[in-house]
């Protein structure tokens, strides 16, 4: 089992590495085009070999996609492909619990399971762990006279990737995480109006960050499943940088990955992401 974890900044990478290092020392630093991979080899409970590579690829969806694609391609060319790509880091949390029944949105979900089958959704708080059951590009589209239109409404591409549901459930349960849609934005939300607009369009959003969709898009291009794990450093809403709790969110990230790393070693993926 080979897992690639992609963070935005080195501080997030180091927080993830510290967590995994609780059960495994770092074994190597490997250069890849545009970055350095930190490799760890935790011993999972089943004793199956597990390699976890952690890469800080930069802030934003484009940097995340570029770094992920480079690492995935290098591994594939070396005939040691990854089984899973994980977008990890801190993020902003929505503090309103998502609805328990499906609510109308301007861009209806086409592929995600109905809301009633989404256990574990709740409002986040600072330090919460969030596991994405949908990774959604929230600002990839066009403004129209009728409001925002996603690129899919314009006939292009995709705006949503769905991580393997059984893995989402297992990781969320193990880390006591809030489960829901994690939005990828290129601009950090800075007003109550924008937060409300995002929640209106994405009623199941529990967090926003800037890289998940980039990682998932690069992974999908190589048929690699993707996961997104965030810890909440701030509330999504009016800009108040002084209220960001980055230290606590980094500690929560370390703690989450101390739990997640051994768990990943118990998984082998089929195309549906179910446990084998």
**Toward ligand LNDFFVEH, which CB reaches closer, 23 or 87?**
87
Q: Which two tokens stand for residue 72?
A: 């995935």
Identify the residue among 3, 56, 185, 264 touching ligand LNDFFVEH (CB under 6 A): 185
Collapse the DSSP code of 29 into the 3-class scheme (helix H, G, I; strand E, B; otherwise coil) and give the result: strand
User: Do 208 and 232 touch, CB atoms closer than 8 A?
Assistant: no
Closest distance of CB 264 from ligand LNDFFVEH, Å = 21
Instruction: Report the C-alpha dihedral over residues 11, 176, 192, 246, rounded to 10 degrees.
Output: -20
Which residues inside 187-226 make contact with ligand LNDFFVEH, applying CB under 6 A? Answer: 188-189, 208-211
- Residues that bind ligand LNDFFVEH (rule: CB under 6 A) add up to a total of 17
CA 226 to CA 236: how far, in whole Å? 24
Closest distance of CB 28 from ligand LNDFFVEH, Å = 25
**Toward ligand LNDFFVEH, which CB reaches closer, 8 or 54?**
8
CA 30 to CA 38: how far, in whole Å? 7
Q: Which two tokens stand for residue 253?
A: 């990230």
**Toward ligand LNDFFVEH, which CB reaches closer, 91 or 180?**
91
- Beta strands, E only, 57-146: 84-93, 129-137, 141-144
Stretch that binds ligand LNDFFVEH, among 68-76, 144-152, 154-162, 233-241 (CB under 6 A): 233-241
Q: Which two tokens stand for residue 157?
A: 């591409």
- Pairing, β 178-184 against β 35-40: unpaired
**Toward ligand LNDFFVEH, which CB reaches closer, 51 or 233?**
233
Which residues inside 250-269 make contact with ligand LNDFFVEH, applying CB under 6 A? Answer: none
């Amino acid at each position: 089992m080979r897992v690639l974890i992609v963070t935005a900044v080195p501080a997030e990478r180091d927080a993830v590495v510290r967590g995994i290092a609780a059960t495994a020392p770092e074994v190597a630093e490997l250069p890849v085009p545009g970055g350095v991979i930190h490799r760890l080899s935790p011993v999972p409970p089943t004793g199956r070999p597990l390699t976890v590579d952690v890469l800080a690829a930069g802030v934003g969806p484009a940097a995340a996609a570029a770094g992920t694609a480079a690492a995935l391609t290098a591994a594939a060319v070396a005939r040691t492909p990854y089984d899973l790509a994980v977008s990890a880091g801190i993020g902003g949390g929505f503090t309103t619990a998502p609805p328990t029944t499906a609510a109308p949105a301007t861009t209806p979900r086409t592929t995600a399971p109905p809301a009633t089958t989404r256990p574990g959704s709740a409002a986040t708080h600072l330090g919460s762990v969030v596991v994405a059951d949908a990774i959604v590009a929230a600002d990839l589209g066009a403004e129209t006279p009728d409001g925002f239109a996603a690129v899919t409404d314009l006939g292009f591409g995709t705006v949503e990737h769905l991580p393997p549901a059984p893995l989402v459930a297992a990781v969320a349960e193990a880390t006591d995480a809030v489960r829901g849609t994690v939005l990828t934005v290129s601009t950090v939300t800075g007003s109550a109006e924008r937060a409300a607009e995002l929640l209106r369009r994405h009623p199941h959003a529990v967090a926003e960050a800037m890289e998940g969709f980039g990682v998932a898009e690069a992974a999908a291009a190589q048929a690699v499943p993707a996961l997104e794990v965030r810890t909440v450093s701030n509330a999504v809403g009016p800009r108040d940088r002084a209220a960001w709790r980055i230290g606590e969110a980094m500690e929560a990230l370390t703690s989450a990955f101390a739990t997640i790393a051994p768990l990943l070693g118990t998984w082998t993926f089929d195309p549906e992401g179910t446990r084998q």
